Amino acid sequence: MKIFTTLFFITSLLVGLQAETTELQYKIEIQAGPFDRQHTVTSFYFPYHVEEGVYIVRDGDGAEALLQVDRHNRGWLIVEDLRAGSVLTYHFDGEKSDEAAKVYHRSDDNTITIKNDDRDVLNYFHGYNNPPAELDDRYRRGGYIHPVYTPSGTILTNHLNVYQHPHHSGIWSAWTNTEFQGRTPDFWNIHQNSGRVDHVEGLEESWAGPIFAGFRSMHYFTDLSITPAVTALNEEWQVRVFSSPSDIHIFDLTVTQSTNSSAPLILPEYRYGGVGFRGHIDWDDPENCTFLTSEGLGRDGHGTRVRWTQIGGHSDGKLAGVTIMSHPENFRHPQTVRIHPDEPFFNYAPTQLGEMVIEPGSPYIVKYRYITYDGEPDVDQLNRLWNDFAYPPGVTVSPFSH
């Protein structure tokens, strides 16, 4: 058995080395499937190693497009216009591009800001915020996104609001009603002093390129109801901000939560918890904040199962909004939603449908896509964008040597 395992390892290593040293070309066939595609984020994995970087690909007519390859051997490109049922074929021969990154980031000691074509998209606290004097040190934290911007630069989120729910922080993640090792820490309401979510200072990694920029960060859920405090969950965020048309910004958030010990985290049935969104302070006025779900409901959509939810209103006098889309792979899809009856608060809350358990060795993973825009929401556009997110084009990659 040992001989067979060793031979298999050596053979695999030789094949890998041959693939890395052989100059390969690829035919990349992109199938639109049943939907019309417009500026659609498309990705695929190469069968053999391709060096991380930006490459030029060409279609049958010689028209060029840019392909961004990440460190996981995954290629990313934008399909600009492809009718339902059609196929687009690109040729890849390893030619690199020296074009400057269209989507990039700027960082300081505490934050990273992602820009799309020189327009701010979002800001993430990889270090600490700076709470106002009215708030104590419990609110000094990081590990969340704020501000989130529209293409014109209008701010959509709020944090450290001393008047309403200062524990709400832009886009953040936490669980409220929990059971852990026989205790009941509340990681959401940090003012209750039984639990909180903190960040690991700094970023694990970050990216930039013509197709997307982003980062990976780590957080931990601390149970404060016991001394010394213990970590119940480890959490990873992956954020990708994509090259977008002039009228929208597009970014994805993937959250992966895994237990820090052999003990599960039990999440009893509850009306909210998970990845939250807090809208601009001007939206605290319920007359200046509207909701719209994919099923056509407003605030009465609370507790219903939806594909996407829009939140909007006048922010600093400008009408703007954001739509948060849930992926079909998410647990209990379509997930139920928490829509606050008066405040600009929203989150997908699968615990509304009953108890959940995050088990050791079985991470809880959710994927959400955020679309920001100025003015009124375009429902047809939002449905098209959700189809792109939920059911992206199919891709077939065929290698061949020179």
Q: Is the pLDDT of residue 14 over 60?
A: no
Average pLDDT, the chain: 94
- One-letter amino acid at 371 equals I
| pLDDT tens for each residue of 121-164 | 999 999 999 999 999 999 999 999 999 999 999 999 999 999 99
For residues 293-303, average pLDDT = 98
Q: Return d(Cα 25, Cα 144) in angstroms, integer.
A: 41
pLDDT, position 401: 64
Residue 118, C-beta contacts closer than 8 angstroms, at least 6 positions apart: none
- One-letter amino acid at 221 equals F
pLDDT, position 11: 41
* φ, ψ of residue 279 in degrees (nearest 5): -80, 170
C-alpha atoms less than 13 angstroms from C-alpha of 35 in its C-beta half-sphere = 19
pLDDT, position 19: 44
Q: Is the pLDDT of residue 16 over 60?
A: no
Q: Is 149 helix (H, G, I), strand (E, B) or coil?
A: strand
For the entire predicted model, the pTM comes to 0.93
For residues 241-260, average pLDDT = 97
| pLDDT tens for each residue of 349-364 | 999 999 999 999 999 9
| pLDDT tens for each residue of 58-101 | 999 999 999 999 999 999 999 999 999 999 999 999 999 998 89
Band (pLDDT 50/70/90 cuts) for residue 18 is very low
Q: Is the pLDDT of residue 12 over 80?
A: no
Query: How large is the greatest C-alpha to C-alpha distance in the chain, in angstroms?
Result: 73
More confident residue, 46 or 21: 46
Contact 279, 370 (CB under 8 A): no
Q: Is the pLDDT of residue 346 over 70?
A: yes
| % the chain with pLDDT above 70 | 94
Q: Is the pLDDT of residue 1 over 90?
A: no
Q: Is the pLDDT of residue 22 over 70?
A: no
pLDDT, position 6: 42
Nearest to 95 by CA among 59, 156, 37, 53: 53
pLDDT, position 402: 57
Q: Return d(Cα 197, Cα 90) in angstroms, integer.
A: 45
Radius of gyration of the chain (CA): 22
